[in-house]
Chains A and B, each alone.
Chain A
Amino acid sequence: MDLDSLYQEIILDHYKHPHHAGLRDPFEAEVHHVNPTCGDEVTLRVHVAGDKVEDVSYDALGCSISQASASVMTDLLIGKSVEEAMQIHQTFLELMQGKGQVEPDEDVLEDGIAFAGVAKFPARVKCALLSWMAWKDATSQSLRSENS
C-alpha cells in the first residue's frame, strides 16, 4: 500500500498550515457537517456577494485529509463566480469518486490534484469531501435565502 500516494507533501503542508482557517464575518449561511462514521466535523460559512464567492471560512476538526481538503478548497473557490466554483466542485467530486482512475486537471484543481491518491482509499474519500459538501450546502442555502 503506497502511503506516499495518499499523503502527498502538498496535503501535509496544507494540514500543518491551513489557508483561510477560522470563522469570519460577514456571511449569509453557516452549516455544520459531520462524518457520522468517524466523527470528523466542520463548521463552514459562506459570504456570497452578487454571483461571487467573496469568502469561505471554516472551523474543522479531523484528520489530515479532511483538514487539507478544506484548506485547498478555500484557495480554489474564494474569488470565483458561484458558477465557476460549482464547476470546480463537480470536477473535484468526479476525481474523488473516480476510484483512482480519473486523471486530475491541474489547471482546474491546482493543489487539489494532490487528492488523486485519496481516491484509491475508499475509506478516506468521505474525509476529503466533508468540507466540499458543506460548502455546497451553505452556498445553496445562501442562494435560496437571497431569492426568497
Chain B
Amino acid sequence: MEGLLPELEVIRKDFPILERQLAGGFPLVYLDSANTSQKPQVVIDTMVDHLERHNANISRAMHQLGSESTEAFEAARDRVAAFIKAPSRDEVIFTKNATEALNMVANTLAWATAELSIGEGDEVVITEMEHHSNIVPWQLLTERKGATLRWFGLTEDGRLDLSNIDELITERTKVVSLTWVSNMLGTINPVAEIAARAHAVGAIVVVDASQAAPQLPIDVVASGADILVFTGHKVVGPTGIGVLWGRREVLESLPPFHGGGEMIETVKMARSTYAGIPHKFEAGTPPIIEAIGLGAAVDYLDHIGLDAIHAHEQAVTGYALEGLASVPGVRILGPLDAASRGGAISFELADVHPHDIAQVLDSRGIAVRAGHHCAKPAHARFGVQASTRMSSYLYTTPAEIDALVESLNYTRSYFKVS
C-alpha cells in the first residue's frame, strides 16, 4: 500500500503496549489514538531516567540535580518550539492539557484591557464542529462579559460552511477560535484562509491543534494562528502536559492568570511585578517529568517526520474508508475523501448502538470510542445521538483495519441485523 511508513514493523516495536494480549487471547488492535496515543519506549525511558537520576524541582534549586532538572525541562521547551516551528522558545508555555490552555486564553481575555478587551457588542466566533473544550470556555467568556457567541455551521459532508464568512467575521469580532482537525468528523479546516479574514477585521485567531499536532506538520506562523494549543498525550507523550503557543505580542498583552511562584519578578505585600513570557503563565511547580516526556515524544515524531506520518495516516484512513463502506448499514460522518481529513473516522452502523458495537469489538481486542466524543453539537448537526469512532496513528496497520471491518460484520450477525 502506497504511503505506509516503510519501517512500520520497526515502529510498532517501539510501542511495548502493542504486544498486549487481551481477554480471550486477542491481540490488542488499538484504534483509539484520537482519544489518546500510545507511548514509545523512548518516552517511557526518558521519564523513568529523569525520575531515577535527575529528579529535583526546577529553576529554584541551587544544586546539581536542580540544574540538571531545569536544563532537561527547558530543553523540552526547545524541542516543542522546534516541533511547531515557533519563532521563539519563549512563546511556548506548558499547561496541563489543551483544555487548560483554551481556558487560560478565554480567562485572560476576560481580564485583558485595551485592544484585547472583550465586552458588550463584541463577538467571539467558533464552529459547530468544536470539541466541548473549545465551546464552553467561550460560552463562559461571552456570558460573563455580555459579548455574543457566534459560530460557523457545517455542510452535509462535514466541512465548515464558509458561505457566510463575511457576515460572521466582522469588525465586531474579537476572537475566532477553531479546531484545525475535527476530533469527530476528521475534517481538516482551512485555518489560514479563515485567519486571514479574521486578521483583516482585527480579531485574534485561536487554533485548537489537539488533533492536528499528531498528524500534520505544524508551522505556527504559516498557520495564521495567534494562539495555538495542543495536548501532549495525543502526540505519543504523557498525560498531564499540554502546550499553549502564542505570538509574543499577544502573550505580552494578556494579563497573568495563575498567580504564584515562578511567574513573578518581585513580590511585595502591596503588589507584585511579573516575569516575562513564558514564566508569566507558568505559576507553581509544573509537571516537570511530563514536559520532559513530551520533549522526547515530539523528538520521536520529528525523527520519523510529520510528512511521512501524515502520508501514513492518509493511506490507512483511505483504506479504512473503503473497508467501512463495504460493511452493510455503515454511514460515515464527515468527508469521504482521505485527502481532506485526519485519521479519526466516526460512523454509524444501522440498528446497532455505538456502545453495543464498541462492546463487541472490545470482546475481540479492538479498542474504539463510542459516544459523543465531546462533540455533542456536531453530532446534533447530523441528527446523531452517538457514534462509533475508529482512529489510527503511525503504528496502525492495514491488517488492523481488516480486523475492524471483519468484527463489524460479526457485530451485525451478533445482533441479528438483517
Which residues of A are at the interface with B, using a C-beta cutoff of 8 A? 1, 3, 6-7, 12, 37-41, 61-65, 67, 121, 124, 127
Cα distance A38–B371 when bound, in Å?
5
B377-400 contacts to A (CB < 8 Å): 379, 385-386
In contact, B360 and A3 (Cβ under 8 angstroms): yes
Q: Report the bound CA distance from A124 to B355 in whole Å.
A: 9
Q: B111 contacts the other chain (Cβ, under 8 Å)?
A: no
Sample of 4 further A-B pairs with CB below 8 A, known A39-B371, A39-B379, A63-B353? A3-B360, A7-B414, A37-B371, A127-B355
Q: Write the chain B residue with the least CB distance to A121.
A: B359
Could you tell me if A38 and B355 are in contact, using CB atoms closer than 8 angstroms? yes
Q: Chain A nearest CB: distance from B364 CB in Å?
A: 9
Given contacts A38-B370, A39-B376, whether A1 and B355 have CB atoms under 8 Å apart is no
Nearest Cβ on chain A to B134's Cβ, whole angstroms: 18
Q: Which residues of B contact A6 (CB under 8 A)?
A: 359
**CB pairs A–B below 8 angstroms (10 shown):** A1-B23, A1-B362, A3-B359, A37-B371, A38-B370, A38-B371, A63-B354, A63-B356, A64-B353, A65-B356
B363 within 8 A of partner (CB):
yes
Cβ contacts under 8 Å, A61 to chain B: 385
Query: Closest approach, in angstroms, between the C-beta of A21 and any C-beta of chain B?
Result: 15
**Are A124 and B386 interface neighbours, CB within 8 A?**
no
Does A1 lie within 8 Å of B363, measured CB to CB? yes
In whole angstroms, how far apart are the Cα atoms of A61 and B24 in the complex?
31
Q: Is A12 a contact of B415 with CB atoms below 8 Å? A: yes
> Does B159 belong to the interface (CB within 8 Å)?
no
**In the complex, the 3 A-B pairs of residues with the closest C-beta atoms, listed nearest first:** A63-B355, A63-B353, A38-B371
Q: In the complex the two chains form, is B356's CB within 8 Å of A41's CB?
A: no
User: Given that A1-B23, A61-B385, A64-B353 are contacting pairs, would A38 and B359 also be in contact in the complex, using a CB cutoff of 8 Å?
Assistant: no
Shortest beta-carbon distance, A16 to chain B, in Å?
A: 8
CA–CA, A61 and B415, complex, Å: 18
* B385 in complex: contacting residue of A39, A64, A67, CB < 8 Å: A39
> Is the C-beta of B412 less than 8 angstroms from some C-beta in chain A?
no
How far does the Cβ of B348 sit from chain A's closest Cβ, in whole Å? 13
B341 interface residue, CB < 8 Å from A?
no
Report the nearest A residue to B352, measured CB to CB.
A64
Q: Which residue of A lies closest to B355 (CB)?
A: A63
Among B363, B372, B414, B416, which residue has its beta carbon within 8 angstroms of that of A38?
B372
Taken together as a complex, chains A and B put the C-alpha atoms of A1 and B24 apart, in Å, by 6
Known A-B contacts A1-B24, A3-B414, A39-B376; A124 and B359 likewise in contact (beta carbons under 8 Å)? yes
The answer for the CA separation of A121 and B23 in the assembled complex, in Å, is: 13
Q: How far is the CA of A127 from the CA of B358 in the complex (A)?
A: 14
Cα–Cα, bound, A38→B385 (Å)? 9
Determine if A64 and B356 form an interchain contact, defined as CB atoms under 8 angstroms apart. yes
A125 CB, min distance to chain B CBs, angstroms: 12
Task: Give bound CA distance, A64 to B370, whole Å.
Answer: 14
In the complex, what residue of chain B is closest to A64 when comparing beta carbons? B356
Q: Judging by beta carbons under 8 Å apart, are B353 and A3 in contact?
A: no
In the complex, what's the smallest C-beta–C-beta distance from B56 to chain A, in angstroms?
Answer: 39
Report B298-354 residues with CB < 8 Å from chain A CB. 353-354
Nearest CB of chain A from residue B10's CB, rounded to whole Å? 31
- Binary A-proximity of B1-45 (CB < 8 A = 1, otherwise 0): 000000000000000000000011000000000000000000000
Chain A residues near B23 (CB, 8 Å)?
1
In the complex, chain B residues whose CB is within 8 Å of the CB of A65: 355-356
Q: Chain B residue with minimal CB distance to A38?
A: B371
Name which of B359, B362, B372 has the most chain A CB atoms within 10 A of its CB: B359
List of B residues within 8 angstroms of A39 by Cβ: 371-372, 376, 379, 385-386
